[in-house]
Amino acid sequence: MRCPQRRPARIWTPAILAGLLFANPAPLLAEPAKITQFSLEQLLDMEVTSVSKKTQTFFSVAGAIFVIDQEDIRHSGATSIQELLGMVPGMEVSQIDNNKWAITSRGFNGRFSNKLQVLLDGRTIYSPSFSGVFWETQDVMLEDIERIEVIRGPGGTLWGANAVNGVINIISKKAADTQGSLVSLGLGAAEGGAAVRHGVTIGDQAHLRLYGKETSRNGARGYASGSELDNDSNLGHGGFRLDWDKDRQDNFTLQGDAHRGRYTEVAKHLTLAAPYSETVSDDSYLRGTNLLGRWHRALSPTSDTTLQIYYDHDRRAGETIGQEINIVDLDFQHHVGLGDRHDLVWGLGYRSNQDSINNLQPFQISFNPDSRRTELFSAFLQDEIMLVKERLRLTVGAKLEHNDYTGYEVQPSARLAWTPSRNHTLWGAVSRAVRTPSRSESDFQVGLYALPFPFTPTLYRIEGSPDLEAETLMDYEAGYRFKPDDHLFFDLTAFTSRYEDLLTREIGTPRNMGSYWLIPSTFANNMNGKTYGLELATTWQPFSWWEWKAAYTYLHMRLHSCTDPESGHNKELGRPESQLSLRSMINLPHNLELDAWLRYVDNVARPSGYLSGGFVGVGSYATLDLRLGWHPKENLELSLVGKNLLESHHLEYVSEDSIPAEIERSLYVKATWIF
């Protein structure tokens, strides 16, 4: 195993600034403003919808949930959703380079993590070709986000296949809450961008929001070379949201977005002559549109329906492969209370995925067939049973799906929540979830290595299999939320998970292709495993103007391959055992804000095809971000953000098919004007 050489951290200036946050700042403060407009108790009473597809209070839900609100977003200094997810316990967030990310929940991380469901205002944003998210295209205006609800653990009973280890539900503000205009400008060493938003009222019942955003990011620092890699990007977004509250019974939402951009990726191309690979810069051009409509109708005080339909078009044109995907999704849901004890939610769904692949360099990567249409049918039913009024609730439900890869799949769950008093909630859950195969596992071929054998070159190629089964999970969770007083809150979750039929790659029989030999490595379901862990989130408000938030994650993983024990061990290495996030938010006098965010990530080891020895160690690292904000006027905010201040550069992620890049220390200035 080769590990990166650790450099002495140059931390004096950041340490002095951070020290101000750990010392008692009271003597410096005259009349600081409150850190948020809500008390801790009000924040715990906030409404969430992701756990049960209906409105519940955060404190009482029977699930591991974390909420990122607008105050968290503003004080973080983050410029993307990806960065924000680093404050969530249970989440593993690794920056690959300046525009790509690997994000997962409870293990199994990768650029296309396939056990995580991600939604934006009810629209699924993972790619059906890879069952993962192209995070580089998710450049939402952070000022327009109301909250991000993150569920750790299975959510398949409501959200379907691929919601195995978690659900990220990004919820934007209603158009009525974004009236007037907003202009935002940001500039930094690694990135820069501009955004504009305008909201208007149409008549007495409708509100409209229009927005546009442009972001550019520079190339990252190469791990081996120390020079800047050619992997810069720029992306433009534009869109609208129209909300019409027709009357007390009916309200409608129509929203749409379009994006267009380019990113460059440094990749390895295989050849059958020495040196058998070459490093190239591939430009990919992106273009996409989506349109979503939602109709919500209140049938009575205890009954309502929601009908949603959306269309999503995405196109990527690269130098190695191009793809075009069209998705149509229809979803109906009915929520009804039956007497005093039963609260029922049921629904039906349909999705059509139509893709077309342009295999520009089939020797490197290809899909066969190059065009395919898949359909997904689903139905779910969930009942919340009040066993003891306002104290003990049992929630049982199941989702039935039919997909074109594995046929019928069932995902049941049972959840129990006990709230003996307003300051305590204990809950437990048992769930089954599945992860169905994708195109990249059934129809995919990608060359990984070319080897200089004595007489004839040999190509090592990953090949898909049409005979894959769904990966399955049985998960057991328990949690405890506790608010000992008005200033302190704890949220603890423990879990153990059993996985079956996990994907492996099995070496096949070599084939003589004439000018070279081919060694196939085919996907199969030959691995089982077990994980267990702890997740802790806590909030402490010693004063109204000072707030601390911490998150800790412990994850233990054991995987066993039926055919290659070393394969299971290698995958176990690819995750940090412990992670810590610590945030401090202080409101100073004279309309100043001082925020700090410290993260620690344990060491991992991942396979790398670019560095000798087969593996490169990603050493444990700590990052510190500092933000100084100033409001010279009520409608104007200026902020200075320093990111990754503890070291000049550090490594977070490597893989078999990418050149390792290091994330550098950077400064970022931002101005936001609301009028």
Give whole-number Cα distances, 325 to 470, 504, 621, in Å.
23, 27, 38
Query: Is residue 23 situated within a structural domain?
Result: yes
Residue 22 has a pLDDT of 46
Query: Is residue 7 situated within a structural domain?
Result: no
Give whole-number Cα distances, 507 to 30, 441, 608, in Å.
69, 15, 18
Range of the domain at 468: 12-674
Separation CA 235–CA 262 (nearest Å): 6
Give whole-number Cα distances, 260 to 97, 121, 321, in Å.
20, 20, 18
Query: Is residue 494 situated within a structural domain?
Result: yes
List the CATH number of the domain containing 124. 2.40.170.20
Looking at the DSSP bridge assignments, the partners of residue 497 are 475, 531
- Tokens representing 184 are 């935002």
DSSP calls for 528-560: EEEEEEEEEEEEEEEETTEEEEEEEEEEEEEEE
Q: Measure CA of the first residue to CA of the last residue in the chain; give whole Å.
A: 56
The closest alpha carbon to 501, from 544, 555, 592, 437, belongs to 437
| Cβ 479 vs Cβ 536: under 8 Å | no
Cβ-based neighbour number of residue 328 at 10 Å = 14
Fill in the amino acid letter for 32.
P
Query: Is residue 22 situated within a structural domain?
Result: yes
Q: Which residue has the tokens 């994650």?
A: 553
DSSP calls for 182-196: EEEEEEESSEEEEEE
Residue 552 has a pLDDT of 98
Residue 1 has a pLDDT of 38
Query: Is residue 464 situated within a structural domain?
Result: yes
Query: Is residue 559 situated within a structural domain?
Result: yes
Residue 654 has a pLDDT of 83
DSSP 3-state of 137? helix
DSSP annotation of 175 reads G
Give whole-number Cα distances, 530 to 475, 476, 560, in Å.
10, 11, 9
Beta strands (DSSP E) in 457-510 are 458-463, 471-485, 488-507
Could you list the mean pLDDT of each consecutive 10-residue stretch along the chain, which spans 675 residues?
39 42 44 60 84 92 96 96 97 91 93 93 90 90 97 95 95 97 95 97 96 92 77 93 95 97 85 83 92 98 97 93 95 96 97 94 90 97 96 98 97 98 96 95 88 82 94 98 95 98 92 90 94 97 94 96 72 84 96 98 70 65 98 96 96 80 94 97
Q: How many folded domains does the chain comprise? A: 1
Residue 98 has a pLDDT of 84
Q: Which residue has the tokens 């999503």?
A: 312
Separation CA 544–CA 38 (nearest Å): 10
Separation CA 610–CA 278 (nearest Å): 11
Query: Is residue 537 situated within a structural domain?
Result: yes
Query: Is residue 2 situated within a structural domain?
Result: no
